[in-house]
A = this chain, B = another copy of it.
């Protein structure tokens, strides 16, 4: 496994890989790897000759009062895990390397950013679009892998690829969970012991909500009551929307999603399901 930290080295590697006709799978991450990331690598390895993992905590997708500075980082551990998982190239640029100057051209997620996390994180998805577009151009992957846990991000990136004809495919990989159901997340380390014990209730709430929605009931009131009584977290949102267009009328493929703010960690989770199947 090679670790590259400059755009120039990455471009040279990509150029020679393309010339040799080998396919590239890209796993974009912000590091502090967990089993969710490694599941992306596993899928990428099964479908491509070579796997590039980017590790970059992207300042453009953090708001001024968000946790960019204290986002968990452990590069040595990440390198070891990536190597064990069979990653071929880690691309780990500095912020200056990725953003050497102020950019002029902007990207926006339109109405897809007006709901769910986009509502409470203005500019977040614009920053995601920026770094993902750059990574797609730098790595030129055949397939890029994203976890379903960040479902809104996934919907927006799928739209990006479709709207602008990027020459690559997006794979949605299902959420990896702890044995008790909590979705794996780098931010789980922020949870206190009590909060960690409460956190699996979020997925239980989602499961109950999906069952209710399939019965034609509005799942939100009961989920709200359940989370408020069973956890110390503060609900940011619980929403049932169509997927992937994220509009208010789920009629077929749907997403039930929530975000709950704990003391030092904001957790998100979701289930994507067919609202017409029982």
Decide if B105 touches A163 in the complex (CB within 8 Å).
Answer: yes
Q: Does A167 contact B (CB under 8 A)?
A: yes
Decide if B111 touches A163 in the complex (CB within 8 Å).
Answer: no
A185 to B9, CA, bound (A): 42
Decide if A167 touches B11 in the complex (CB within 8 Å).
Answer: yes
The A contact surface, by secondary structure, is helix
Decide if A111 touches B104 in the complex (CB within 8 Å).
Answer: yes
Query: Inside 8 A of A162's CB, which chain B residues have their CB?
Result: 101, 103
Q: Using a CB-CB cutoff of 8 Å, which residues 1-29 of chain A contact chain B?
A: 7, 11, 14, 18-19, 21
A7 to B162, CA, bound (A): 12
Q: Does A129 contact B (CB under 8 A)?
A: yes
Query: Inside 8 A of A159's CB, which chain B residues have their CB?
Result: 103-105
Residues A105 and B164 in contact in the complex (CB < 8 Å), given A19-B21, A21-B19? yes
Return the chain B residue nearest A140 by Cβ: B167
Name which of A62-70, A130-138, A264-272 contacts chain B: A130-138
Q: Count this chain's copies in the assembly.
A: 2
Decide if A137 touches B112 in the complex (CB within 8 Å).
Answer: no
Q: Using a CB-CB cutoff of 8 Å, which residues 61-119 of chain A contact chain B?
A: 101, 103-112
Q: Which residues of A are at the interface with B, using a C-beta cutoff of 8 A?
A: 7, 11, 14, 18-19, 21, 101, 103-112, 129-130, 133-134, 137-138, 140, 156, 159-160, 162-167
Closest-CB distance, A248 to chain B (whole angstroms)? 16
Return the chain B residue nearest A100 by Cβ: B162
Closest-CB distance, A98 to chain B (whole angstroms)? 9
Closest-CB distance, A36 to chain B (whole angstroms)? 25
Decide if B112 touches A129 in the complex (CB within 8 Å).
Answer: no
Query: Inside 8 A of A109's CB, which chain B residues have their CB?
Result: 104-106
Query: Inside 8 A of A105's CB, which chain B residues have their CB?
Result: 107-110, 112, 129, 156, 159-160, 163-164
Contacting residue for A134 out of B11, B107, B130, B165, CB 8 A:
B165
Return the chain B residue nearest A245 by Cβ: B104
* Further 5 A-B residue pairs, CB within 8 A, beyond A103-B163, A105-B112: A105-B107, A105-B108, A105-B129, A106-B109, A137-B166
